[in-house]
């Protein structure tokens, strides 16, 4: 007759098959999906930032090319500024601006609101439509400052416009 063993752990039966880790629990699927979405959003934001800085760098390069020309006209400088604006705003909103409306648009997007980008409205309009108006060094310096700060000013202007629309309850058309 076998001798009884007094070990209480002897009665515990260990499983022979280890439970599988696949498929993972639903919480892990949610974490994986959230991680992928966050990575995609970060990638999109980085690409957008690179594109925006590339646009500004190209505009600054064109400004340097205009500056190196001895006969750069004021209208060529304004074409450069308008070209940059067309990259950030719809064509319908920017392309039709001219004269005083264009001057007001430039000033609304001016980082230093206490000093205008170009002298005053009347002088700006005269120089813009005078065929022989040459750019001076102050024009290039002002345009360079304006070009560098334009993306931030554009973002701030759009944000303030959205906030104003929320306050008044009107919709953007």
Three-state SS string across the chain, please?
Answer: CCCCCCCHHHHCCCCCCCCCCCCCCHHHHHHHHHHHHHHHHHHHHHHHHHHHHHHHHHHHHHHHHHHHCCCCEHHHHHHHHHHHHHHHCCHHHHCCCCHHHHHHHHHHCCCCCCCCCCCCHHHHHHHHHCCCCECCHHHHHHHHHHHHHHHHHHHHHHHHHHHHHHHHCCCCC
Q: At which residue do the structure tokens 């953007």 appear? A: 172
Model-level pTM greater than 0.75?
no
Question: For residue 3, what pLDDT is reported?
Answer: 60
* Residue 74, pLDDT score: 86
Whole domain around residue 126: which residue ranges?
37-149
CA distance 113 to 161: 17
Could you identify the residue written with the tokens 């997007």?
109
CA dist 129 and 59 (Å) reads 22
Report whether 146 contacts 106 (CB < 8 A). yes
Q: Looking at the domain assignment, is residue 28 inside a domain?
A: no
Q: Is residue 18 part of a domain?
A: no
pLDDT at 170: 56
Q: Report yes or no on 59 lying in a domain.
A: yes
Q: Residue 165 domain-assigned?
A: no
Q: Give me the residue label for tokens 């648009």.
A: 105
Six-digit token string for 147: 């070009």
Does a structural domain hold residue 54?
yes
Q: What is the mean pLDDT of each run of 10 residues along the chain (173 residues)?
A: 67 77 91 98 95 90 89 87 88 87 85 71 82 84 86 78 63 52
Classify residue 125: in a domain, yes or no. yes
Supply the pLDDT for residue 34: 98
Domain count, the chain: 1
Q: Quick one: pLDDT at residue 154?
A: 79
Length of the chain: 173
The reply to whether 30 falls in a domain is no
- The answer as to whether 110 is a domain residue is yes
- Residue 2: per-residue pLDDT: 58
């Amino acid at each position: 007759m076998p001798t009884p063993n007094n070990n209480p752990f002897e009665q515990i039966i260990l499983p022979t098959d280890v439970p599988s880790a696949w498929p993972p629990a639903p919480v892990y699927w949610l974490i994986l999906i959230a991680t992928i979405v966050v990575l995609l959003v970060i990638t999109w934001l980085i690409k957008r930032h690179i594109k925006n800085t590339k646009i500004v760098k190209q505009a600054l390069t064109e400004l340097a090319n205009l500056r190196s020309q001895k006969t750069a006209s004021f209208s060529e400088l304004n074409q450069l500024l308008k070209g940059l604006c067309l990259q950030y705003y719809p064509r319908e909103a920017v392309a039709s601006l001219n004269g005083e409306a264009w001057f007001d648009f430039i000033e609304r997007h001016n980082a230093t609101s206490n000093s205008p980008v170009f002298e005053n409205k009347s002088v700006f309009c005269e120089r813009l439509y005078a065929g022989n108006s040459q750019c001076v060094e102050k024009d290039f310096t002002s345009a360079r400052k304006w070009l560098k700060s334009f993306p931030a000013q554009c973002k701030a202007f759009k944000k303030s416009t959205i906030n104003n629309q929320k306050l008044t309850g009107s919709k953007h058309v």
